[in-house]
Amino acid sequence: MENQTFTISVYSENNVGLLNRISGIFLKRHINILSLNVSESEIENVSRFVIVVHTTEKWVHNIVGQIEKQIEVIKAFYHIDDETIFLENALFKIESGLLFDEKQIQNIIKESNSEIVTVSRDFFVISKSGRRSEIEELYKNLKPFGIMQFVRSGRISVSKEKMEISALLEELKNKQI
């Protein structure tokens, strides 16, 4: 079985320690997490993890089984890239003078569909959302001018198919009573 990129989505209770419990499942199998994002989900008090890994389908199946087994995990899914809409976000901090001295920077910003978030006397900040390759392209173009700081977020992703979480929660709630 070949390695490929999988996006794992985990719906869970919002509890201290769960991140540690989930990351431990990858650690135990010596699998590197390529990116990790935790946020609120569409359901109140339910967190959503988006985890990107590069591994085989057998392993990702196994891992998702182990994640779902954790007491505070409601449901976990995995998808390949074609099954999701996904992007990352990046911030570039650049010296302000360059904006005026290097005309080309303005073109690079325009062509990359990124936006300037703030401009101060000393620096300005560009924000770029998109696929990894688009962010890397922008990075490559800005690099010769000097980047003061660069940061890229983990992948966030929504699936094309439905993830029936609300219905599942409703069902579980009824079951208990």
What are the backbone dihedrals phi and psi of residue 16, each rounded to the nearest 5 degrees, phi first? -60, 135
Q: Which of 3, 4, 28, 97 binds another protein (CB under 8 A)?
A: 28
Nearer to another protein, 70 or 141 (CB): 70
Residues shown for the chain: 177
What are the backbone dihedrals phi and psi of residue 105, each rounded to the nearest 5 degrees, phi first? -60, -40
Q: Is residue 167 a contact point for another protein (CB under 8 A)?
A: no
Contact 103, 171 (CB under 8 A): no
Q: Which of 7, 9, 12, 35 binds another protein (CB under 8 A)?
A: 12
Number of other CB atoms surrounding residue 96 within 10 Å: 13
Nearer to another protein, 10 or 142 (CB): 10
Contact 8, 66 (CB under 8 A): no
Nearer to another protein, 21 or 152 (CB): 21
- Residues within the interface to another protein (CB under 8 A): 12-13, 16-17, 20-21, 24, 27-28, 61-62, 65-66, 68-69, 71-74, 169, 172-173, 175-176
